[in-house]
Amino acid sequence: MGESESESEKQWRLYEAYNELHGLAQEFDTPFEAPAVLVVGHQTDGKSALVEALMGFQFNHVGGGTKTRRPITLHMKYDPLCELPRCRLLSDSPSPSAAASDPTLASAQEKSLQQIQAYIEAENMRLESDPCQFSTKEIIIRVEYKYCPNLTIIDTPGLIAPAPGLKNRALQSQGRAVESLVRAKMQHKEFIILCLEDCSDWSNATTRRVVMQIDPELSRTVIVSTKLDTKIPQFARASDVEVFLSPPACTLDGFILGDSPFFTSVPSGRVGSGHDSVYRTNDEFKQAICLREVDDVASLEEKLGRSLSKQERSRIGVSKLRLFLEELLQKRYMDSIPSIIPLLEKEYRSTTRKLNEINRELSTLDEVKLKEKGRAFHDLFLTKLSLLLKGTVVAPPDKFGETLQDERNNGGAFVASDGIQFPHKLIPNAGMRLYGGAQYHRAMAEFRFVVGGIKCPPIMREEIVNACGVEDIHDGTNYSRTACVIAVAKARDTFEPFLHQLGGRLLHILKRLLPISVYLLQKDGEYLSGHEVFLRRVASAFNRFAETTERACHEKCMEDLISTTRYVTWSLHNKNRAGLRQFLDSFGGPEQPTMGGNPVSAGLSHDSMLGSVGNEKQDTKPKGDVKLSHLASSTDSTSSVQTTETRLADLLDSTLWNRRLAPSSERLVYALVQQIFHGIKEYFLASAELKFNCFLLMPVVDKLPALLREDLESAFEDDLDSIFDITNLQHSLHLRKRDTEIELKRIKRLKEKFRQINEQLCSRQLKSMPYMMISAK
């Protein structure tokens, strides 16, 4: 009897150690994966009812619909002396005094079953109105009871299989959220998955469909067919029952734990004193479970016309499932002990290092050391900025990079006045996720590509007539002035939006350098964690510098655009003279030789100009040939002069004195506008790129360091406490120190527990070895 009690005591210590390990992993987010049973099933599969039957008492809200919105972890411990269930609820916010007195029960509060039921229902109601509706954070309950097995069971929210259609969108969204939560829990390799199926045909894999996405071979899955008492009457023949109890291997793919499914029934009815309660005590509920098991065996034997074998009986009933899970979990516990101890050692060292860092931070909270840390951070931050501009691959592109489409969405696109965007696929490296200097270069290349391809907007006849106006000394028309007026107006309207868009895009790229630099600092362990006020000031100073620099650069570019669209300088604006000359030659062939020292215009009459408009390409050369042959054959110099004067008069009549817009005049104005617009575009493109490189990019390299240092020193002189928030920082560090000390005590305590258990297991193995092997050693 004494040996039995000692063995039971050792098992309790083992379960208690693992329960504490699981609680530590949940509370401090430590990388411990203690073995546990994860219950997975659909809403109507009887999940919560089966969990209550395994526990031996009722506590949860059981019924249709979603009754579990947070996973419920039950650390159950068998205690034959505990007549009533003794429950402790692990609070989300541990008490400092409790934590200091007993690290193992730092956040556990003893609650009655009614209080736990009320807490779970309140959590479900809270999450029902929450946008997420479900939470992965577990409700952890420790239970000691005379009917409890030594198990850790995690009850998950029931899977949902909503109907298709737009009217069921809300339920479909819930279904995706629940499946995502359950899949995340099943990812833990140490968990034994209890897969519940409510079906009489094993070819319907409702829950297995989800489980096999994580455990395709079902190698860590126990399959349970629930509600056996409702299925037995459905079978008409004994052969159907045989197939149901022992499904063929082709039906249940994989290698399930236990080799075959379990079959359970849980009697309906709740425990309580109300008129609708079926059972008055938990003892009655436990007895009803046992009776239901006996009735199920009898019903099956009646249907089969034979007695069930020992193997078949070992799979029918809640008690058989409970025994199997206890033995399986105990084996997992034993197997995991050697791997748990090194993990605890590693976490203990990590937590000790974390505590030392906190103590070191507390010791450096004086003015001189804080200033030194601030200046060092300033230098390191600028180093990271420079590295990003020059080029690096340290920051992951999938996290910080932007494709051209992302960049357009976040920083603005280059959009012409007609609202059309240039296809991003035609820009080099458009699909690559870039950041830093590479992204800046791609944006500038896109600007060159888009603006360089812009054509002069169409010119309306009304615009030409309106641009002619009236001179201050005569009422004739000046088509060169008309062309200048139209060209500069079109250029200003076309290019000014691109200047704003370029500034916004490059400013977006520069501001993105800040979070990437912070990532690099954190990666290299050079980040000032805890000094949020100081870091916000640095970030604010950087963003303010980027914005003011971009604004100043934009003003310089606007000055250039205004100057080049305010006054036309022919040496600058008329870049393509050869093209213009070729175009003007089409009006009437080459110029004539000078006569009497005065140039003679080779102008055409109004009628010949009209003819040249309709046949510009086809008739230009023939008409020139005709005119040349006509002039060559003219021998009378007087008649030649008269003809030239007549044509000059006709030209002046059609251009200077006549306000009726002829096609030749329209073509002349259009040609001049095209040349002026092209000259403005070339100058604007080169000027904008040069100025943004010189007055936006370069100041980040040569002016930002001095300005940041000046801002930093000014802040140090004004009020150091407001910059580093020393008072709040001390309070925060003390809280972190207290939590870390609690965590360290709990890890140390666990480490000693598992070491003792491991030593006992090793000594037991040595005692069980044959005497000869021991003597040989």
- Cα 211 from Cα 225, distance rounded (Å): 15
Residue 659's pLDDT band (cuts 50, 70, 90): low
Using only the alpha carbons of the chain, give its radius of gyration: 43
Reported as a single tens digit per residue, the pLDDT across 568-585 is: 887 666 555 555 555 555
How confident is the model over 345-357, as pLDDT tens digits?
Answer: 888 888 898 888 8
Quick check: 92 pLDDT over 60?
no
Q: How far apart are CA 531 and CA 533, in angstroms?
A: 6
Over pLDDT 90: what percentage of the chain? 20
Query: Region 120-126: what's the mean pLDDT?
Result: 85
More confident position, 449 or 635: 449
Considering the chain, what is the average pLDDT of its residues?
78
- Out of 208-212, 486-490, 514-518, 523-527, pick the least confident: 523-527
**DSSP 8-state secondary structure symbol assigned to residue 233:** G
Nearby residues of 738 by Cβ (< 8 Å), 6 or more positions away: 96, 99
DSSP 390-424: H--S-S-HHHH-B-HHHHHHHH---B-TT-PBPPG
Q: Which residue has the tokens 């802040």?
A: 715
* Least confident segment among 120-134, 173-187, 423-437, 505-519: 120-134
Instruction: Give the strands of the sheet with 151-155, arranged side by side.
Output: 108-111, 86-90, 139-145, 72-78, 151-155, 36-40, 191-197, 221-225, 262-263
By C-alpha distance, which of 436, 430, 443, 441 is closest to 504? Answer: 443
Helices 479-511 and 404-411 pack at an angle, to 10 degrees, of 100
CA gap 138, 126 in Å, rounded? 15
Residue 704 buriedness (CB in 10 A; 0-12 / 13-18 / 19+):
buried
pLDDT of residue 776: 43
463 band by pLDDT with thresholds 50, 70 and 90: confident
Tokens of 768: 């069980």
Please report which confidence band the pLDDT of residue 43 belongs to, taking 50, 70 and 90 as the band edges.
confident
Of residues 368 and 403, more confidently modeled: 403
Residue 39's pLDDT band, with cuts at 50, 70 and 90, is very high
Instruction: Convert the pLDDT of each residue in 588-615 to its tens digit.
Output: 444 343 333 333 333 333 333 333 333 3
Angle at 572 between CA 569 and CA 577, to 5 degrees: 105
pLDDT given at position 774: 43
Residue 149 has a pLDDT of 77
pLDDT band at 318 (very low <50, low <70, confident <90, very high): very high
* pLDDT on residue 604: 33
310/763 Cα distance (integer angstroms): 35
Question: What confidence score (pLDDT) does residue 640 get?
Answer: 57
The reported pTM is 0.53
Among the ranges given (194-198, 329-333, 388-392, 687-691), the one the predictor scored with the smallest mean pLDDT:
329-333
* Residues 155-211: tens digit of each pLDDT: 888 888 888 888 888 888 888 888 888 998 899 888 899 999 988 888 888 898 899
Mean predicted confidence (pLDDT) in 639-665: 61
Cα–Cα distance between 255 and 218 in angstroms, integer?
Answer: 6
Place of tokens 């812009």: 454
Alpha helices in 476-603 (DSSP H): 479-511, 513-523, 532-564, 570-573, 577-585
Q: Write out pLDDT tens, residues 712-739.
A: 777 777 666 666 666 777 777 788 888 8
Can you tell me whether residue 30 is helix, strand or coil?
Answer: coil
**Cα separation of 704 and 708, whole Å?**
6
CA distance 686 to 691: 9
At residue 327, the pLDDT reads: 84
Cβ atoms of 326 and 18 closer than 8 Å: no
- DSSP-based helix, strand, coil % in the chain, nearest 5: 60, 5, 30
Q: How far apart are CA 553 and CA 693, in angstroms?
A: 9
Burial 318-354 (b: 16+ CB within 10 A, else e): bebbbebbbebbbebbeebbeebbebbeebbeebeee
Query: What mean pLDDT is predicted for residues 685-698?
Result: 94
Does 8 have pLDDT greater than 90?
no
User: In the prediction, which pLDDT does 470 show?
Assistant: 73
What is the rounded CA–CA span in Å between residue 212 and residue 208? Answer: 6
Count the Cβ atoms, other than its own, within 10 Å of residue 387: 18
Do the Cβ atoms of 107 and 124 come closer than 8 Å? no
Amino acid 532: pLDDT? 73
Residue 505 phi/psi, 5° resolution? -65, -50
